Structure formats: structure tokens, C-alpha cells
Structure 1
Amino acid sequence: MLYINRSSKTPIYKQIYDSFKEDILTGRYAPQTRLPATRRLAKDLGVSRNTVDLAYQQLVLEGYIVPHACSGFTVEPIAPATVYQPVKRKDTAEEQQKPKNKIQYDFWYPLLDCILFPMKTWKKLYCNALSEIGSSKFISYPERHGEPQLQKAIADYLFRSRGVHCAPHQVIISCGIQFNLELLLKLFDPSCCTAAMEEPGYNGVRDLLQANHFRVSPIPVDHDGIVTQHLKDCRASLLYITPSHQFPTGAILPVNRRMEILDWAKQQNAYIIEDDYDSELRYFSNSIPSLQSIDRNDRVIYLGTFSKVLAPGLRISYLVLPPQLLERYRQICGFYLCQVPYTNQLALTEFINSGYLEQHIRRVRHAYSEKQAKFLSAIDRVFGERIHLFSKNAGLHMLADIETTLTSEELIQRAEKVGIRVYSAKFCWSSPATAPEHQLILGYGSIPAQDYEPALRLLYHAWYEI
């Protein structure tokens, strides 16, 4: 029997439609069955005839019933393969009774400390951008490669901070590193192009390469970064690398290996994708010059982002193309429009040109340096020699080797039972089965410093005392 719930937020016509649709699909209404007349059904349900008409019209539109002149509606025959049994939803009360572990601390490595975002300054610049925009800008499409004033601001900033040599028109602005890479890969033919990358390395890039049908050649990493001898043994024509802060180990590629990689690229006529994802966050030394800054043969494609130093929610990243790739990019990807809103681009331009960016970088570098020192101190007090940490001089995460007989899956499960999320490093390996068993990536950026020790003591209890 058709039942109408008058307290439901679902419109009554939709309830009628849903009821008949389910009855038809489950076979309760056989083909050629005549539906109740609209006038009679409206009277029985205590609703207007227009409401019933609307439900029937939707059923006709979707092919469930057929109208007949002066004789109402009949059910349309439906192929048996399309008839389904409705999936029973779990009882809400039962769901609510299930015990759920409330997550109190999350060591997810991309997370930032939200209180460090310069909200007051950004709001002011954003409002200024809105007031400066004429109506013509709102009804116009954006510049394809980004607003020229932001391209120039980024080019100037990169030269000051990273030694990157480029003209403003070489800067392509987009809404995220992965989208930039997606466009960049269109410039290369995967059928005859092998892409090399660090092992372990950033799985998001590996997944993207494989999704675009590139053969991926993993190159081992040691305490100094990518092992160039192994690179020479593979026939890659594209190399993705994080030389200034290798992900996830934190290794810094020394200058002799940088020169070897540049020489390899020249000899192989290959290109290097340099991902400089968090170069601003270096704590115990000045920022290391980029690989692009010492490239004299235009073999380096430079990737950068404002996600780490400002906020990922702004969705502003960029790539710097060598001159010989720029024309190919215009031919193949020139029809893509910049995905970053004009107001965000204008606000960021002023943020850079007014000196706010470099002032903000000094502030967050100091804040994260203090947080890292407190995190290291808390780890030492709680775990002692039971955790070995890799590079500790930059970034918002550390690769940790845990002294335990538990698997990484067991470490994660036990942590979740005490309200903590930790993450295995296995996803950084092309073959997780060959990855070290007890390595985790611990991100400390978003957790308040005063909570480091309580969180770590919960982990110690979960891993060693339960």
C-alpha cells in the first residue's frame, strides 16, 4: 500500500513516484498492469490531483509506464536484467550503537597549523581585489596561463628565493601540482617514454604516470637522495625528483649528484621534473638553490606550490617550462583555461609584491622550527631508542622506523583504537610488499605542540603495553 509521510522533507509527488518505481522494478506491478486513476488515487491519498499527475509524468518520462488516451496508464515491460532487488539499508539505531573510535590526533603529513594562515592580511587583500575588479572581468574568461601580473610576481620571487631563471611567460599557473602534471604529461608520448622516479617516492605522481600509461622505472634512494648510478642504467626520458627535500626520507641531494643528473639529462635528451614542494620550510640552514638554477641546458621543468607555505585550500600552484617546451605546451594544452579564480590571483600578486609572502615565510619557518624541536624532544622522552627518525632539518613530516615486532597494519590499527591516526610509508614504494615493514610517516604540522607528548604516550601504550 502506498504510504505518504507528510512530515518528510521529500516532496509528496516524489514519494508517490518512488513507491511506484520500486514496485515496478521489483515486479510487484507486472507488465501491462493498469495504475490507479489519478483522480481516485489523489482522493485516496488526500492530495491534489496535480501532485499525482506530476509523479505519473515523471514515470512516463523515464519509461516505467505508458499513457493511453482515455484509459489511464499501464506498466511498461522491462527486461529481466534491469529488475533489481532493493538493498536493505542498515537500521539507523544499529549503526548508532556500533562503537566508533573518535580520532583525537591525526599525524597526516600534509596537514598544516591553521592558526599560522595570515587570515587578516589575506582578507584585506582579497577585498581589495574584489573592489578593483570591473564588471568586465566577471563576465570574461581568465587568461589561459594565469594573470600576467601574478606570473611576473612569481618569476621575481623564484629568482630571489630559489635562484630560478625564467621569464614571466614561462610560468604556468594552475590549481594544483597534480593538475599541472596532468597537463605536462600531455607533452610526452607514453608509448616511447619511460618515466623514472625516486623509490621510495610520492605515490600521487606514480599513480598519475601509470594512469597516463607511462612505464615507471623506480630508482633507489639512499641517505643522500636518488642514486645516480642506477639512473644511468635505465633508459628513461623523463625523471621526477624532489632534490631539496626528498619525499618521504627528507634527504638533500648533494651538488655532485645534481650535476650528474643534469649531465645525464643532457646526454639522454631527457627532461627532469623538479618538485620543490616545501623548499621554504628549512630550519637549520638557508634554502638550498634549486636544481633549475644550475641547469644550463634547459632540461629542468620546475614545479612549485603555495599549499605548504600558505594553504592547500587556495589551490594555487605553478610550473616553469623551459623555452623549447613552452611552444609545444601552447600547441597541445593552449586551450585549457587557468583554473584559479581571478580574485585569488590578484590577492596573491599583492601578497607577494608587498613583501607579505617573505615576511609570512619567516614567521611560519620560525613557528614550525619550534614545533619540530618540541616534537623531537617529546619523541625522545617517550620512545627513547625505539624510534629512529630520518632527516630532521626541514618540512612538516618525518619518516620513522619503529622498533617493534608488529606490522605497519597492526601499528595503525592499535593507534586508531586509542584515537590516533598514523600512516604507513608502504604507499611510497612501487611494490608495497618489498617496503620496510615498520616505517611510518609522522606529520606534526597540525597538532598543537602541547599535545605532542600526550599523543605519543598514547601511541607508546598502544604499541608496547597493550
Structure 2
Amino acid sequence: MLYLQLYNEIKQRILQGQLNPGEKLASKRQMAKDRGVSLNTITASLDQLAAEGYIEAIQRKGYFVLSQKLSLKEPNQWQLSEIEAESQPAIDWRYKGVDPEFPVATWKKITMECLNQDARYLTEKGSKLGEHHLRETIATYLWNAKGIKASPSHIIIGSSTENLLLLLVKLIGKAKIGVEDPGFHRWGDFLKANQIEQIPIELDQEGANPSPTDKKEMDLLYVTPSYQFPTGSIMTIGRKQELLEWANQDDKWIIEDEYNGEFRYQGKPIPPLKAIDSHDHVIYLQSFSSLISPALRISFILLPDSLLQKFKEYPYYFSCPVPRLTQNVLAQFMAGGHFTRHVNRMRRKYAKKRQLLEEWAKNFDNLKIVGTNAGLHLLLEIHATTLSESKIVEIAKKRSMALSPLADYELNKKRRPASLVVGYARADFNELEAGMKLLEEILNLKKRELSDHND
């Protein structure tokens, strides 16, 4: 805008000492004539400068420069630069994202319906717990799909797992948390910053297996029992009962993260730990990032009674970080059956992607897929190779393929075969095929003889 250009020009001349304190500026008419602009443009510029204290207007005399602390020169560069976007590899097998198929038309239609019903979603602040309609819908979903009895009053909406974990940290205070090893440790630095000490918990065939010392030291245990990340194992009912007994007797907490428990491709879904928690010591956590899209930034936590009481005493300045409109669109998306249809459609698609990888791995003696037939990733063990995990990742990166080594998810490094955590949700079938071919070349894989395969 023209008036801003003139405003900035005069301001910089004042700050750089080109216009001295007490000096009179040219008249408005003269400025308008010199610059070929309207008198209104000149007046707007000078009024803004006067409002900010760079000049003062004296009636019938004109505009005069006020004294300023001079800026000898403008900085030639910013000290902080924007974080550059990560370059996208041609083949991405890392665990991240979802399939790009999204019900855009349905989401758009529901968005307009929500706005027509109540435009206050855009102008008024909602409940700090999150929209009641969404919490009601989630409570119904938990009962129908998971067998979890939940009151909407105990559900809190957040923008991410980290956001909700931060809330827990504030409610529980300084604590030690047991985490599965290997496990999902992306928030390790966050925990350290909030004085939360991590205790690595070993895994066995039944799931997380804390030692007596671990049980004594830790205040919370963070687990993924329905589909352990990244090994893909399922916690047995015996281990679940054992952990619940420990939490009840020692008055400790278990955080159950069911990050993508809906995606099970054989048999029925595994009942969550929370469904058998009769003493209310399980904090249930779930995100819609893998179920619908990470772009929604919606997760939720189901708090036990005692922690909910603490939350009610939480300072008034805490508020739900998710836009009200987005929450209400999701609520109607779920209530209208669109969520179930979308998850079912994605389950079929993800099952085909996983099957493609499994059938490919069966062709080679030195490849083994670990874990149950579920989730959005699989663990690929590579046997009889001279290449280390890091070397495989390095070679693949040079050929524009991104891989995640299992070592990235371990706190305590162990002796084991080279292993990759393969995420197949976001990749399309052509990308999966290209990745298979490239790994065959990198690992110098030789297919089994046909007779051996038939056996």
C-alpha cells in the first residue's frame, strides 16, 4: 500500500539520522505533489508516524521530527532462519503418515453443515475439555468398538500425544516413567525437559516385562499392548493382569497408547488394557492421526477419577488447543458412520500393502517379518548380511530411499540381526515395488528355488 511505503521511508530516515530531531517535514501538499499521490495517502502516513511517536503535529505549523534512539544500520541478515523443509525421497519406507486417500467431499460437506448450524465455532471459546459433542461421540465409540466404559466428562481432547503427555506431567508432577525398549521414543527429549526420567523396560514374548526393581522405581508405565511398537507383538492377558495388579497394589499408573489398534488384518481386534481395568489405574490415550490424518491434530485421553479431580483444579489458563470447528466436524464425521467406513476402507487397503511386503519377503531366505498381521508398519529382519543397519540406511539414502533402522527405537542397544521398521501406510503400491527392487540390489538378495518355496 502506498501510505505504508511512505511511512516506512520516513521512519527509516528518522532512525538512521537523516532527519534530525526538531526538523520540520515538507508540507502534506508538497509531499503529495513530489510523489504523485493523493493528499489522503500522505495524511495516513503522517498520522501513523505521529501515533507511534516518530513525529508530532503542531497546529498551523506542520509536522516535526521527535528525538529517537538511532539505528545506525539495518541488520543485513536474520540470526534465526526458517527451518528448511526436509527433502522428500523418491521411496519412503519410514514409519510416518497415512495413505493419502481422504474423504474430502464428505469432510467439506460436514464442515459447511457445522458452520450453518452454529457459526459461533469460529468466534467463541469452547470447553477446556474439548467439545462436548465430540467427547460424547468418542465415549460411544470406545464402548461399541473397544468395550471401554467411559464418561464424556473424563475425556480430554488434545492436539497430539505430546500435548496430552504434557498435561499428565503437570497433573502427576516429577516422576519416573517406564518405557518399552524398543519403543516409540520420539518424546524422549520432551520428558527430560519436564524432569521425567525414562526407565527402559525389556520386552519378552508376552509384552513389556518390568523387573521387580523397575516396578519399585517407576511411577508410570507407558505401553502399547494391542500392537507393540515397533516389534508388533501383542501383550497376553496374563501379562495385562499382572501389570494391573502391580498398578493397583502399588498405587501406580499405566498409560495405554492404542495408536492404531483399529488396523488388525486377521481375527478380531485385541481388547484394550483399559477394558479390564477394574481399579481405574489405566490412563487411555489414542490419536486420530493414524486413523484419519495427522493433519487433523486431534488426540484424546481418558483420565481416571483421581486425575480428573486434579485436572478440575488446574489453572484457568489451560484451554483445548484444537479448533472448535475441527472438533465438531470430526464429531459429525464419526456420528454419521463416515469414520467407520473410512477405517474399514483403509484397513482393506493397508492389508493389501502389508500382504505385498509379506509375499515379497517370503521369496528370500535371509528376510524375516516379525510381528502380528496388524498395524501400519512391520519389522523386517535381515539375516546373513555383512552390512550393518546404519550402512544399509546410508546406501539407500544415496539412492533416494528413506529407511528407519530399529536402533532408532532402542534405548539399550542389543545384539540382534539388522532390522528395519518399515512403514507402509503412506507409500503407494508402485513405491513399495520400487523399494523392494532397490533393497534386493542393496542386499544382493537371491530368490529361493521354486521347489523350496513350494515346500
Aligned counterpart for 2:248 among listed residues 237, 253, 266: 266
CA distance in 1, matches of 2:317, 2:73: 44
Q: Does 1:441 align with 2:421?
A: yes
2:217 maps to 1:235: yes
- 423, 426, 429: which one aligns with 2:410: 429
Aligned to 1:73: none
The amino acid across from 2:143 in the alignment is F
Counterpart check, 1:177 vs 2:161: yes
Alignment of 1:350 with 2:336, yes or no, is: no
1:108 aligned to 2:90? no
Q: Is the 8 A contact 1:240 1:272 kept in 2?
A: yes
Deviations for 1:113-137, whole angstroms, at most 9, x for unmatched residues?
112x222222221221111x43444
Q: Larger deviation: 369-378 or 311-320? A: 369-378
1:397 aligns with 2:381: no
Partner secondary structure for residue 128 of structure 1: helix
After TM superposition, give the deviation of residue 107 of structure 1 in Å. Answer: 1.2
Q: Relative to structure 1, is the Cα distance of residues 101 and 303 closer, same or farther in structure 2, using a 3 angstrom cutoff?
A: closer
1:195-246 CA distance string (max 9 Å, x none):
1111111112333221211121111112332114356554211111111111
- The answer as to whether partners of 2:361 and 2:369 remain within 8 angstroms in 1 is no
Task: Between 250-259 and 101-110, report the one with greater CA deviation.
Answer: 101-110
Q: Is the 8 A contact 2:181 2:411 kept in 1?
A: yes
Q: What is the match of residue 128 of structure 1? A: 113
C-alpha deviation, 1:183, in angstroms: 0.9
Residue number in structure 1 paired with 2:431: 451
Judge conservation of contact 1:219–1:231 (CA < 8 Å) in 2. no
Give the 3 Å change call, closer, same or farther, for CA 233–101 of structure 1 in structure 2: closer
Write the mapping of 1:80-229 to structure 2, written as runs, cut at 5 A.
103-115=89-101, 117-131=102-116, 133-190=117-174, 193-229=175-211
Structure-2 change in CA distance of 1:160 and 1:440 (3 Å): same
Aligned pair partner of 1:308 in 284, 290, 308: 290
State the 1:301 CA deviation.
Answer: 0.5
What residue in structure 2 maps to residue 55 of structure 1? none
Per-residue CA distance 1:364-415 (angstroms, 9 max, x = gap): 112211111012112334xx1233321041111112233442341x222211
Distance 1:316 1:233, change over 3 A: closer
After superposition, the Cα gap between the structure-2 partners of 1:285 and 1:231, relative to the gap in structure 1 and judged at 3 Å, is farther
**TM-score, normalization by structure 2:** 0.78
- Equivalent residues in 2 for 1:365-380 (5 A)? 365-380=347-362
> How far off its partner does 1:451 sit?
3.5
Aligned partner letter, 2:419: Q
Residue-by-residue CA offset, 1:24-83 (whole Å, 9 max, x unaligned): xxxxxxxxxxxxxxxxxxxxxxxxxxxxxxxxxxxxxxxxxxxxxxxxxxxx9x9xxx99
Question: In 2, distance between residues paired with 1:235 and 1:398?
Answer: 32
Moved more, 225-234 or 455-464: 225-234
Alignment-derived partner of residue 64 in structure 2: none
1:360 aligned to which of 337, 342, 362: 342
What SS does the aligned partner of 2:172 have? Answer: coil
Q: Which has the higher helix share?
A: 1
Specify the code of the residue in structure 2 equivalent to 1:459: L
What is the deviation of 1:428?
1.5
Could you say what secondary structure the match of 1:332 adopts? coil
Q: Assess, with a 3 A threshold, how the Cα gap between structure 1 residues 83 and 198 changes in structure 2: closer, same or farther.
A: farther
Q: Is the 8 A contact 1:388 1:400 kept in 2?
A: yes
For the 8 Å contact 1:265–1:299, the answer to whether it is kept is yes
| Residue in structure 2 matched with residue 52 of structure 1 by the alignment | none
* Cross-structure match for 1:406: 388
Q: Which runs of 5+ in 1 are unaligned?
A: 1-10, 19-75, 89-99
Could you tell me how far apart the structure 1 residues matched to 2:95 and 2:415 are?
19
Deviation of 1:14 (Å): 11
**Matches of 2:320 and 2:160, distance apart in 1:** 11
SS in 2 for 1:200: coil
In the alignment, is the contact (CA less than 8 A) between 2:232 and 2:371 conserved in 1?
Answer: yes
The amino acid of 1:449's aligned partner reads: F
Cα shift at 1:168: 1.1
Whole-angstrom distance in 2 between the partners of 1:379 and 1:211: 41
Q: Is the 8 A contact 1:266 1:297 kept in 2?
A: yes
The residue type equivalent to 1:311 in the other structure is: S
Whether the aligned pair in 1 keeps the contact of 2:361 and 2:368 (CA below 8 Å) is no
The one-letter code of the counterpart of 1:199 is D
Whether the 8 Å contact between 1:378 and 1:456 is mirrored in structure 2 is yes
Tell me the distance in 2 between the aligned counterparts of 1:257 and 1:333: 38
Distance in 2 (alpha carbons) for counterparts of 1:450 and 1:231: 49
How many residues in Structure 1 have an aligned counterpart in Structure 2? 434
Aligned to 1:247: 229
Equivalence for 2:273: 291
Structure-2 change in CA distance of 1:457 and 1:137 (3 Å): closer
Superposition CA RMSD, Å: 4.2
TM-score by length of 1: 0.76
Does the 8 Å CA contact 1:228/1:260 hold for their aligned counterparts? no
Distance 1:299 1:86, change over 3 A: same
List gaps (5 residues or longer) in structure 2. 9-66, 79-85, 446-455
Distance 2:108 2:296 in 1: 13
1:217 and 1:234 in contact (8 A); partners too: no
Deviation, 1:16, is 13
Matching residue's letter, 1:413: E
